[in-house]
Structure 1
Amino acid sequence: MKLLLNIKKENDDLGRQVNNLANTLLFKHIKYLIAILFLGLCFNVSAQNLKYSNGEKYTLGEIKVSGNTSFSEQTIVAYSGLRKGKEMTIPGEDISDAIKKLWKSNLFSDIEIYITKIEGNVATLEIRLSDLPQLNELKINGVKKSKKESIIADNKLKKGTKVTENLITTTKNFLEKKYKKQGFLNSKVLINTIEVEDSIKTARVNMVLNIDKGEKVKIKDITFNGNEVLSDKKLRKSMKGTKKINRIRILKRSKFIDSTYQADLGHVIDFYKENGYRDARILSDSIIYNDDKTISLEIDVIEGDQYTFGDITFIGNTVYTNEQLNRLLRIRKGDTYNGVELQKRIADNTKPDAADITNLYQNNGYLFSSINPVEVSADGNVIDMEIRISEGKPAYFNSVSVVGNDKTNDHVIYREIRTKPGQLYSKANVVRTVRELGQLGFFDAQEIAPNFINPNPVEGTIDMEYSVKETGSSQIELQGGYGGGGFIGTLGLSFNNFSIKDIFKKDAYKPIPMGDGQKLALRLQASRFFQTYSFSFSEPWLGGKRPVQFSTSISHTKQFLFNPLTRDADKSRSFNITGITFGLAKRLTVPDDYFILSQSISFQRYDLNNYNTGLFTFGDGFSNNLSYTVGLSRNNTSVDPIFPTNGSSFSVTAKFSPPYSLFSDVDYGELKDERDINETILNDPTQSETVRTNASNRIAEIDQERYKWLEFYKVNFKGEWYTQLAKDLVLRPSVEFGFLGAYNNDRGEIPFERFFLGGDGLGNFALDGREVVQLRGYPNQSLSDQDGSTIYNKFSLELRYPITLKASAKIYALGFLEGGASYNSFRDYNPFTLKRSAGLGVRIFMPAFGLLGIDFGHGFDPIGNTGPKNGWETHFIIGQQF
């Protein structure tokens, strides 16, 4: 006698259903016979010479295993759950469960259980099965080598993986769906398996995965049926990512992406709702394949009637009056119904700091409030609304904590947090805290997350946890290059989260003392012709209680004169600059706490030792520059300081020296006249060499007197704004202006502190306090006089698109339009006469190396007043954040 219970894997679900049906029918004799017959027809279940009335109980005797398998008999029997001596009903749930367990192991391809012998109440079983083959080798055709690893990882196709029909089907469907989402509408994936015949007992197969993505399908046309009020053109415009072929359009693609198309169908309905057609629906949409391998989209819509707003009533509001809420809602009776805008006025999910009713409540403690608009009447296409408000209980912060800061000390973070225990909940303070933590530069701005823990509407409390992820906050600059006639070596160290109090603690060097938010920078640069040494330090919270930043810097530069005969540095002739600066910057509270008032005092000593270059009229002597700088700035840009998406930043600074002329008994008008006379003699070729030499020496003496203590004032303005045009596209317009003036016109403008416009904006070894202003598309410092200019303005428009904003590397591409010019007096100043340029670039920010980039700029104007346009220039950017 033999009973075969056989369930093929491809019919697993149906098999389970039939088994269950059979077990149910076993309770009655007739139904049992029907079940046996049904099993025999569907699943190769047979009974030979076996008499049954109902399912009977048996004791299991021997359990044998047969078939093509590498697993031991003991392992298979143990995994099935069957065991010798077990009492069970046959047929029954025990046999079904054993089969299920073996299927779920994903190790076998066929499972058959036989009753081979029955003696009394003892039954002998045989489990016959075959191992699923393992993947031996995988060959992928039709994609680049760089894409193969991701295909293997996404579909778990590593060597040794069990190859099932489900694996093959899932892989095929996954890849075809993936490529269709990318616009390859006709993609096809074929998978073949080949058995491996060798001496190894384990069943193995080689898999060949053939991928034919085809070409991306373009949309030839998009037509709408059923639209009478809104034209096809307007409806196509509402589709943000699905566009038909237009050779003029650059930014938007015409390739079909199914996921984008489905989202755009929703945008069409939103567009109708914004125009009052709240009942608009898409009845159907179809794809038409054209002979030229393009597709056309045909969309059937029903518009319905246009609605207007009727009475709008607030219900449940006790904290704010109807008038206060109406001022935020800004919707009046008779306005065209706009369900999308109504929802934004109540809760704008696209802007965390939006001026909507939800934020009005949440910024004043009502975290548990809910606001729901309900249509109560739509008679005559006029919709009466009730805005039902459940204010709830005001919420207070119970505890505030931070997790994820392994290096930064807690007090550095907590002093920036705007939410305190016991404080009334405010969403605005939560948003501002996230922004401030991102602006520190110690954490990945994209990973900062405020987490609400244990919200308790009954007691009105909530715990707040800010999750942060540390990034490298120190940078190293180690580079060598050839320029200025020789090798230039640079070593720069910048520690942006330094802890000076731990410098004498050995345990703190990991590799340097860190965690207190201080900044320390060292920079050494040298070549045959110059040497530069600088040190700077800043403490953002002087005293630890108020946001008052203290900073100091010391620098020394030594420049050697180039000898054109030996083409080497003449170290007996030098120009030395030594400077020191002390500064304080305080965060203000009015007009708001984005404003910072900064002040600094600086002193530079310029020493010239037989250094005659034409840059200065005297080659031996010195100048002293004692100046005071005051600045007012405001920066409310978004969380990520590397890639801001909204907000603005501006600064106004004034730098000036004491008015020495007021306290001096020197007649600078007389000196000026004398200088003009000597300059006339110097330029007169009829004069003897001795006379001209004496005139030159006298000019140098006069200028030495004029510039012994530099007298000047300088004003700078810089402003930039960030606007998110789309999800990832950011527009950054900016404007700059600078002016250098003199208190005493007879004394004149100083030859230091001037503006040099053009190029990449880098001033590696500027010696004279100059400001190097970037204007791409032109050579470095080419748009100012040799001695610099006293006035400049610059306008820039930049479009940015992020490639990746991960903590390890932030990369974004940009396009720019720029214009600027420099002048020596207001008589020549014209803000509309500009040197224009345009171009493309890319920026890469890595925590260990700072910001790097390259720009390709095209100058549309000549460098001077006449001549051909400048054309293309390549600029390398190091350490600047534009």
Structure 2
Amino acid sequence: MKLLLNIKKENDDLGKQVNNLVNTLPVKTYLKYCIAILFFAGSFSIQAQDLPYIEGKKYTLGDISVSGNTTFSEQTIITYSGLRKGKEMTIPGEDIANAIKKLWGSKLFNDIEVYITKIEGDVAYLQIRLSDLPQLNELKINGIKKGKKESIIKEAKLNKGVKVTENLITTTKNFLEKKYKKEGFLNSKVLINTVEVKDSVQTARVNMVLNIDKGEKVKIKNIVFDGNDVLSDKKLRKAMKNTKKINRLRILKRSKFIDSAYQADLGHVIEKYKENGYRDARIISDSVIINNDETISLRIKVNEGELYKFGDITFIGNTVYSNEFLSRLLRIRKGDTYNGVELQKRIADNTKPDAFDITNQYQNNGYLFSTINPVEVSADNNIIDIEVRISEGKPAYFNNVSVIGNDKTNDHVIYREIRTRPGQLYSKANVVRTVRELGQLGFFDAQEISPNFINPNPVEGTIDMEYSVKETGSSQIELQGGYGGGGFIGTLGLSFNNFSIKDIFKKEAYKPIPMGDGQKLALRLQASRFFQTYSFSFSEPWLGGKRPVQFSTSLSHTKQFLYNPLTRNADKSRSFNITGITFGLAKRLTVPDDYFTLSQAISFQRYDLNNYNTGLFTFGDGYSNNLSYTVGLSRNNTSVDPIYPTGGSNFSITGKFSLPYSLFNGVDYDALQAEREANSIISADPNNSLLARTNATTRITEIDQERYKWLEFYKVKFSGEWYTQIAKDLVLRPKVEFGFLGAYNNARGVIPFERFFVGGDGLGNYSLDGREAIQLRGYPNQSLSSTDGGTIYNKFSLELRYPITLKASAKIYALGFLEGGNSFDVFRDYNPFNLKRSAGIGLRIFMPAFGLLGIDFGHGFDPLPGGTVKNGWETHFIIGQQF
């Protein structure tokens, strides 16, 4: 038996060379180059012995046999090699080279040897001897957390059964080291060991052990620039958004070296130069210097080039808008310092879908197919002349508009919010607004709403629009707990935010409840030792189905029990009952724009006191009625996700008014007030007889019963908040609030209801007497107001938010806050700068089934009223609320 060709793999680098040769060399030269390279490398042995055949003579291939350690069948290997019995071939020649190439390229075998077993006349008999590459049996990874191991297996493709080659081992090692270096672990090391598995199974198998030592992330001690005269090192370092040197005072940006971030920041340095007129600036070299204290320093050499200015800017191809109009829109004048970055933003700002730029001007007016390109036509004497070349194209009209992905929400609920209609002229602003409106509904994952352009036809000027949505849970269970009013307060509520009342009597609609019409239905039970509250509310956002007019109604009943200081419990025989009903309408306006909403409501509350004597009222038995009208104007253009807005603002101003009964009921309240003050003196003077004092007290009660029989007041509130995305996903939200409760007639005085209670987390807001709990973290609940509540308050807050995840299943974001606020009993004491200040951090989790959950740790920097020591830390647990 004569060895014709023998290829054995012994060195990984040479193995790679052979693989490259196998995959790239022409068949005719494959064998020649393969033999030459491997012979001189000495890592493969190729032997040609004296053979009893005539070189160049053609032989007919006889039987082909297969031997060696392999689990593949003989027929499979022969078929895959391309050799077949009866084939006429030259020995040696291209046919055998091709067979070797195919078998080697399969990456299934470790050794491939071809033998001539015998020659009979013109018939040659061959044997292919080979062995399988070993398969991966078990993989053990050391040095990383358990949760990271699955991702390593997936990324490195180290699944059980994979063929283990030297190339695989080397590739895996290089991949992991490169991966960790990109993450800032410059000193990472990866060692891979394999051990052959010996058992009764014929398949060659190995166990692999990955020892990963990531080391510590390397910090940047200093960043130094060479060649910069125009821009200082400080300005250039500031332009590097994610590569920062060590600074103990910096919190948001770390100083650890990440190669990918560093490469991106080199581009930001060049952009900084271009923004300042140095369009030819470039980075000549950059180097990483390893310091003795295991930190690194970065040295970046730049060539600033020369300063350029804008010359003439001309527009070519524009017929829809005049040169003068486009020049005003571009806002760049001849002689301005050249800024290529800003020029591109004025043409098309890709960071803002609703930016004030030329592209949006065209696209908001139908020119979907327009293209606008600025071209530098001259740069003589560092003066750059620009041609803005415009291809307007035909105006585009919507052909078909469709929605996909709504499994629960009925089509008409979505289509009534869509601003793009078939036959309507295309407007990018309307597309962006539609995405916002769908996100604001709360029925879909705002992060997953996608407008898709289908079948754009520039010739006919048509486009199909498809909005893709993803349903989220729109019903919520409210479980709320907290302390307020002297005891634990528990709340159980059911809120159905996509209800369908028309299907309430259809048995088949209960899956588990009738849904899909966008209505809201809420049932709520709140209780503690001292009170019980029951409420029901319903709202229809499109009353009549043709206009965005929201109708809402609510019913409520609460029973409050008097606190007994002896037993420290509730006295169930002494109660304060409140029953209320409200009807409201809210209409979306079109002027000044359609972000405005005008809301109106009429409400009635009945207050019944049953032996309920407190400092709040001078009468313990009796009743009061509160009939009021509320009107509000609001503007909300926050985008897009209502849980985590990243832009826009939300303003509202409301006024709540009762009838001015003192103008027409014929009661002389000045006389009543004088009589009340006189009786107060009598009742407080111990020299008077018991009978006189008792009669005076009784008369005071009668007077107050008359004063509060029908409540007379007005109440004004303002709230404003802004959302600004100051970095990717990092959102700043300032907010200001103000409230004032007044009286038409000073003789009647300010009512004891409808007051403001400032401080805490708001969970103590259990009463339906119109009081409002104003959250101010860092202080106990309602601790910054007097016992009866304030008649005026203001609050200022600043929040910095960063999302951890915004997935539909759970939206989680962290926040830091600064707050200040206070309440005052009378207007003459009001001082907007007399604030109770606080700061802290918090976390919010929104789950569709439970609403918003959160926890805040706030530090109060000022003492409570009457105290002298700052309040310090408070923990606030938030369920179902949002600041």
- TM-score normalised per structure 2: 0.94
Range that drifts further, 242-251 or 459-468: 242-251
For the residue of structure 1 that corresponds to 2:870, the secondary structure is: coil
Structure 2 matches for 1:91-170, cutoff 5 A?
95=96, 98-99=99-100, 102-103=103-104, 106-120=107-121, 122-170=123-171
Q: Deviation per CA, 1:230-270, whole angstroms, max 9, x where unpaired?
A: 22222122111112222233332221111111111111111
Using the alignment, how far apart are the partners of 1:181 and 1:678 within structure 2?
83
Structure 2 matches for 1:267-346, cutoff 5 A?
267-346=268-347
Using the alignment, how far apart are the partners of 2:573 and 2:696 within structure 1?
25
Range that drifts further, 515-524 or 318-327: 515-524
Using the alignment, how far apart are the partners of 2:139 and 2:762 within structure 1?
53
Using the alignment, how far apart are the partners of 1:82 and 1:418 within structure 2?
68
Report what 1:603 is aligned to. 604
Given residue 575 of structure 1, which amino acid in structure 2 is its aligned partner? F
For the residue of structure 2 that corresponds to 1:276, the secondary structure is: coil
Given residue 369 of structure 2, which amino acid in structure 1 is its aligned partner? F
Give the conservation status (yes or no) of the 8 Å contact 1:115–1:125.
yes
Give the conservation status (yes or no) of the 8 Å contact 1:2–1:50.
no
Report what 1:575 is aligned to. 576
Report what 2:847 is aligned to. 846
Given residue 518 of structure 1, which amino acid in structure 2 is its aligned partner? Q
1:658 aligns with 2:662: no
Give the conservation status (yes or no) of the 8 Å contact 1:735–1:793.
yes
Give the conservation status (yes or no) of the 8 Å contact 2:478–2:880.
no
Given residue 296 of structure 1, which amino acid in structure 2 is its aligned partner? S
Using the alignment, how far apart are the partners of 2:693 and 2:133 within structure 1?
102
Range that drifts further, 861-870 or 422-431: 861-870
Report what 1:24 is aligned to. 28
Given residue 390 of structure 2, which amino acid in structure 1 is its aligned partner? I
Q: CA deviation at 1:759?
A: 0.6
Report what 1:29 is aligned to. none
For the residue of structure 2 that corresponds to 1:827, the secondary structure is: helix
Q: CA deviation at 1:513?
A: 1.3
Q: 1:879 to 1:18 in 2, by over 3 A?
A: closer
1:253 aligns with 2:257: no
Structure 2 matches for 1:300-699, cutoff 5 A?
300-478=301-479, 489-699=490-700
Q: CA deviation at 1:15?
A: 5.0
Given residue 238 of structure 1, which amino acid in structure 2 is its aligned partner? A
Identity %: 81
1:58 aligns with 2:60: yes
Using the alignment, how far apart are the partners of 2:549 and 2:723 within structure 1?
27
Using the alignment, how far apart are the partners of 1:604 and 1:366 within structure 2?
56
Q: CA deviation at 1:40?
A: 6.1
Q: Deviation per CA, 1:476-512, whole angstroms, max 9, x where unpaired?
A: 1246678767765432111111111112222222211
Q: CA deviation at 1:2?
A: 4.1
Using the alignment, how far apart are the partners of 1:760 and 1:592 within structure 2?
35
Give the conservation status (yes or no) of the 8 Å contact 2:377–2:385.
yes
Q: CA deviation at 1:434?
A: 0.8
Given residue 352 of structure 1, which amino acid in structure 2 is its aligned partner? P
Range that drifts further, 488-497 or 109-118: 109-118
- TM-score normalised per structure 1: 0.94
Unaligned runs of 5+ in 1: 27-31
Q: Deviation per CA, 1:802-838, whole angstroms, max 9, x where unpaired?
A: 1111111111111111111111222111111111111
Using the alignment, how far apart are the partners of 1:802 and 1:632 within structure 2?
31
Q: 1:678 to 1:20 in 2, by over 3 A?
A: closer
Give the conservation status (yes or no) of the 8 Å contact 1:759–1:774.
yes
Q: 1:35 to 1:803 in 2, by over 3 A?
A: closer
Give the conservation status (yes or no) of the 8 Å contact 1:60–1:87.
no
Report what 2:714 is aligned to. 713
Q: CA deviation at 1:203?
A: 2.5
For the residue of structure 1 that corresponds to 2:341, the secondary structure is: helix
Q: CA deviation at 1:322?
A: 0.4
Using the alignment, how far apart are the partners of 1:244 and 1:33 within structure 2?
56
Give the conservation status (yes or no) of the 8 Å contact 1:638–1:645.
yes
Q: Deviation per CA, 1:322-342, whole angstroms, max 9, x where unpaired?
A: 000000111111111111111
Report what 1:773 is aligned to. 774
Q: CA deviation at 1:625?
A: 0.9
Using the alignment, how far apart are the partners of 2:452 and 2:381 within structure 1?
47
Using the alignment, how far apart are the partners of 2:5 and 2:582 within structure 1?
94
Using the alignment, how far apart are the partners of 1:103 and 1:680 within structure 2?
111
Q: CA deviation at 1:112?
A: 3.7
Given residue 17 of structure 1, which amino acid in structure 2 is its aligned partner? L
Given residue 574 of structure 1, which amino acid in structure 2 is its aligned partner? S
Given residue 205 of structure 2, which amino acid in structure 1 is its aligned partner? R
Give the conservation status (yes or no) of the 8 Å contact 1:63–1:84.
no
Given residue 135 of structure 1, which amino acid in structure 2 is its aligned partner? L
In angstroms, what is the RMSD of aligned CA positions?
2.4
For the residue of structure 1 that corresponds to 2:705, the secondary structure is: helix
Range that drifts further, 848-857 or 525-534: 525-534
Unaligned runs of 5+ in 2: none
For the residue of structure 1 that corresponds to 2:881, the secondary structure is: coil
Q: Deviation per CA, 1:292-340, whole angstroms, max 9, x where unpaired?
A: 1111111111111111111111111111100000001111111111111
For the residue of structure 1 that corresponds to 2:48, the secondary structure is: strand
Q: CA deviation at 1:102?
A: 4.6
Give the conservation status (yes or no) of the 8 Å contact 1:23–1:92.
no
Using the alignment, how far apart are the partners of 2:395 and 2:52 within structure 1?
76
Using the alignment, how far apart are the partners of 1:481 and 1:772 within structure 2?
14
Q: 1:680 to 1:78 in 2, by over 3 A?
A: farther
Using the alignment, how far apart are the partners of 2:441 and 2:525 within structure 1?
26
For the residue of structure 1 that corresponds to 2:559, the secondary structure is: strand
Report what 2:732 is aligned to. 731
Q: Deviation per CA, 1:88-129, whole angstroms, max 9, x where unpaired?
A: 676666655655555565544334444434445554443333
Q: CA deviation at 1:677?
A: 2.0
Give the conservation status (yes or no) of the 8 Å contact 1:312–1:384.
yes
Using the alignment, how far apart are the partners of 2:29 and 2:735 within structure 1?
81
For the residue of structure 2 that corresponds to 1:497, the secondary structure is: strand
Give the conservation status (yes or no) of the 8 Å contact 2:765–2:773.
no
Give the conservation status (yes or no) of the 8 Å contact 2:219–2:296.
yes
Report what 1:47 is aligned to. 48
Using the alignment, how far apart are the partners of 1:783 and 1:487 within structure 2?
20
Give the conservation status (yes or no) of the 8 Å contact 1:369–1:389.
yes
Given residue 771 of structure 1, which amino acid in structure 2 is its aligned partner? E
Give the conservation status (yes or no) of the 8 Å contact 2:479–2:879.
no
Using the alignment, how far apart are the partners of 1:120 and 1:639 within structure 2?
84
Give the conservation status (yes or no) of the 8 Å contact 2:484–2:764.
no
Given residue 465 of structure 1, which amino acid in structure 2 is its aligned partner? E
Give the conservation status (yes or no) of the 8 Å contact 1:862–1:870.
yes
Q: 1:674 to 1:287 in 2, by over 3 A?
A: same
Q: CA deviation at 1:380?
A: 0.9
Q: Deviation per CA, 1:628-660, whole angstroms, max 9, x where unpaired?
A: 111000001111111111110000001111111
Report what 1:196 is aligned to. 197
Give the conservation status (yes or no) of the 8 Å contact 1:2–1:117.
no
Range that drifts further, 723-732 or 108-117: 108-117
Q: Deviation per CA, 1:810-869, whole angstroms, max 9, x where unpaired?
A: 111111111111112221111111111111111111111111111111111111155111
* Number of positions where the alignment pairs a residue of Structure 1 with one of Structure 2: 876
Using the alignment, how far apart are the partners of 1:92 and 1:393 within structure 2?
64
For the residue of structure 2 that corresponds to 1:261, the secondary structure is: helix
Report what 1:797 is aligned to. 798
Report what 1:701 is aligned to. 702
Using the alignment, how far apart are the partners of 2:25 and 2:72 within structure 1?
32
Structure 2 matches for 1:184-223, cutoff 5 A?
184-223=185-224
Range that drifts further, 244-253 or 699-708: 244-253
Q: CA deviation at 1:442?
A: 1.0
